[in-house]
Each structure stands twice: as C-alpha cells, then as structure tokens.
Structure 1
Amino acid sequence: MKQPHHGHDEHEHPRAQRSGSRPVSWATAARATLHCLTGCAIGEVLGMVIGTALGWHNIPTTILAIALAFVFGYSLTLRGVLVAGVDLRTAIRVALAADTLSIAVMELVDNGVIALVPGAMDAQLSQWLFWAALAFSLVLAFLVTTPVNRWMIGRGKGHAVVHQYHH
C-alpha cells in the first residue's frame, strides 16, 4: 500500500528543481522589495526635495533623485552586510549583486509613473499632487518589483546573496 505523501521533496517542485531554482514565498520577496523600496524612497524624496528647492528643471532633478535612490538603496544593504562582519570590498559586491536589478526596475516604474501623471513633473513640494503621485508611483514600483525579486531570490540571486551574511 502506498503511503500518503506529507513532506517537501524533489517531487513537489519538479520545475524548480530542473531549473536550478527554489520556491520562494511572496512574503520573502515582499520583505526584500520593501527593504529596497525604503532606500529608493529616501533617495527619490531627497533628490526631488533638493532639486525642487534649488529650482532645478525636471531632468537634473530626476537624475539626482535616481542617483540618490541607488546610493541609499545600496547603502542600506551595505550597512547590514558590514554589521555582519564582512569586509568592505565584499560588502560592496554583495550590495551591487543584491540590489542593482531591483533598484533599476523600481526606478524605471517610479519615474515612468511620475512622468505619465499629468502635472506631476511640475508639481511643487507644497502641492498634494507631488506627494500623491510620488506615493502612487512607489506603491506601483513595489507591486511590479516584488515578482522580480521573487524570481531572483528563487535563483540564488538578488537578496538571496545578502541572506547568507545575515545568519
């Protein structure tokens, strides 16, 4: 008589086994994306605030915001890896491997949405449109980037690289 199957083994995820990937929960992907989104949001907001306060036009303000999103995104990961006792050179490589695609997707979506919302590019910090468009673009960036991170983590890339240093 065949015994009922209750465990997790290679038969439960045959496609994952063949492709070299492993199953990753949506919660894990969401946490990784939220971590990335935090750095991106800090950089985006700071870049927009600085550019707007200095009276810069849209293009230089957007470039500054994107650059700062990458800097803050990488910095949060770098900090965590350094705290785990990893040398600076390795920590930089880990941060670049973990966050580059995630931040790039997030920035593409975020800035694409801002560009498409009528009046958002010209909104001032004191206007609700500025903050509403930014919040909407970040939520959408999170929703689009979470599946990307899930896919990457399942293949041992992205934030999967970071997790080996957290334990």
Structure 2
Amino acid sequence: MAPSWLVVLSWCALALAGVSTLVIVADIYARGYSQRMRVMEAVWPVTGLYLGPVAVWMYWRYGRPQSNKWLEEHGLDAPPDKPKWATTAIGVSHCGAGCTLGDIIAEFAVFALALQLFGRALLPEYIGDYIAALALGILFQYFAIAPMRGLGVRKGLAAAAKADVLSLTAFEVGLFGWMALMAFVFFGSHPLHPDSPVYWFLMQIGMVIGFATAWPANVWLIRRGIKEAM
C-alpha cells in the first residue's frame, strides 16, 4: 500500500491539475478566447492534466494570443512571435495531448477487463497505450496539418502520421520507462492500479518525463518542416 503522505500529495497534485484544466477551459469556452487552430482548444486543457499551473502559464503567455479576441483587444493583426523553445514546447504538448488521452482510455480499459500477460498488466497497458495514443495523436496532428496545408483526408492523414509517429514514440519511451519503474521498483510487490490517486500522480510524473524525451524529436521534426510550428 502507498504511504498516507503520498496519497495526500497525490490528491493535491490531481486537484491542482484539475483546477488548471478548468481555468483553461473556462478562458477558451466561457470567456471566448477560442483558438484560431481549433485543435488547440483540446490540447491546452489536456496539457493541464499533467503540467498543471505550468500549462496555465504557457497557455496565458503563448496560447491566448492565438485567439482573435486577444488580437482585437491588443489591436494586432497577427499573434506576436514566439521564441523557438515555446514553439517546440507547444509541438510537444500537441503530441502529449494524444498520448495523455490515449493512456487514460487504455489504462482504464485494461484495468476494467483485468488484462494481464506474464502475470502483470504492464504489457497490455503498453500495447493499449501506444495504439490509443497513436490513433488520437494522428487525429490531433491531422487537424493541425491538413487545414494549414490545404490537404485532403488521405494526404492529410499521411502527413499527420509522418509528423506524429516519431514524436509520439519518443514521448512514450519516457513514459513507459517510468511505468516500468512503477511496476518493478517502486511498487513491485503491491502494484498500483488506475483506481488509486497515487497511480495517476505517478503517471503525471511519467508524462512530464515523456514530454522531455519527446523534445529532441520535435526540434528535429519542426526544423525539417515535417511537423508544423504552432
């Protein structure tokens, strides 16, 4: 069993992430700061689920200025330029949103179905996470690339896959490595499950690690023009 201090810390971290997501959702949908790239209206709130207040700051600094309402308020025709690191961070968060949603869906599915291989749920989680994350990641990428390049469905999906597979795989490498530590080192004798707040707190940490491992891939993809700078 997880120690009580870790359970309390986990609930606090999850609550902070939930509030962060609600702040972003309220600003986009209730206050009218809709994004010119509409897929980002999903990406920013999902990023809040694991980056918490950092995601709110990033959204306020670099996401909000992408809305027509913000441009009108500041008398501008185009959003201000972003530093390269911010462009990369947004690119990683775009990939991370697909990974995060895919992981949440797959983790609960594996748990509900009690799937195991070799006596553990880890391998089914890996398979389910990757498949769900890849499907959602390509879908998110499609809605970013296709409108910007004026592509049809088939070419848009092909371009999205080309832009997202490497980035998503790099993200999952970091996350999966952390999940292995969770399964074999931290709680090897009493594995955690998705019905525990500690599980999701540790998954938040894993997603931050995935964010870091996906960074170099996104730098390369954006520099080569394979992935759109957002």
Indicate the TM-score class for this superposition, using the shorter chain for normalisation. Answer: 0.7 to 0.9
1:70-114 CA distance string (max 9 Å, x none): 111111111333445421111011101111110010111111111
Residue range with higher mean Cα deviation, 53-62 or 134-143:
53-62
Residue range with higher mean Cα deviation, 92-101 or 82-91:
82-91
1:119 to 180, 183, 187: 187
Q: Which residue of 1 aligns with 2:115?
A: 56
Q: Which residue of 1 aligns with 2:21?
A: none
Q: Which residue of 2 aligns with 1:21?
A: none
Q: Is the 8 A contact 1:28 1:150 kept in 2?
A: no
C-alpha displacement at 1:144, in angstroms? Answer: 2.1
Structure 1 distance, partners of 2:216, 2:137, is 18
Percent pairwise identity = 25
Q: Which residue of 2 aligns with 1:108?
A: 173
Structure 1 distance, partners of 2:194, 2:125, is 13
Distance 1:79-1:151 versus aligned 2 partners, 3 A rule: closer
Q: Which residue of 1 aligns with 2:220?
A: 151
Alignment TM-score, normalising by the size of structure 2:
0.55
Q: Is the 8 A contact 1:30 1:146 kept in 2?
A: yes
Residue range with higher mean Cα deviation, 106-115 or 59-68:
59-68
Write out aligned runs for 1:10-21 (5 A).
none
1:10-41 CA distance string (max 9 Å, x none): xxxxxxxxxxxxxx811110000000000110
Query: Are 1:42 and 2:101 counterparts?
Result: yes
C-alpha displacement at 1:156, in angstroms? Answer: 2.3
Alignment TM-score, normalising by the size of structure 1:
0.74
Q: Which residue of 2 aligns with 1:71?
A: 135
1:41-77 CA distance string (max 9 Å, x none): 0001110011011111212232111110111111111
Q: Which has the larger radius of gyration?
A: 1
Structure 1 distance, partners of 2:108, 2:166, is 25
C-alpha displacement at 1:128, in angstroms? Answer: 2.3
Q: Compute the RMSD of aligned alpha carbons.
A: 2.1
Structure 1 distance, partners of 2:138, 2:187, is 30
Query: Are 1:26 and 2:90 counterparts?
Result: no
Q: Which residue of 2 aligns with 1:9?
A: none
Structure 2 distance, partners of 1:43, 1:141, is 14
Structure 2 distance, partners of 1:78, 1:154, is 19
Residue range with higher mean Cα deviation, 63-72 or 81-90:
81-90
Q: Is the 8 A contact 1:105 1:145 kept in 2?
A: yes
Structure 2 distance, partners of 1:68, 1:26, is 28
Distance 1:79-1:154 versus aligned 2 partners, 3 A rule: closer
Structure 1 distance, partners of 2:221, 2:151, is 22
The aligned length equals: 138
Structure 1 distance, partners of 2:137, 2:144, is 12
Q: Which amino acid aligns with 2:153?
A: L
Structure 2 distance, partners of 1:38, 1:26, is 18
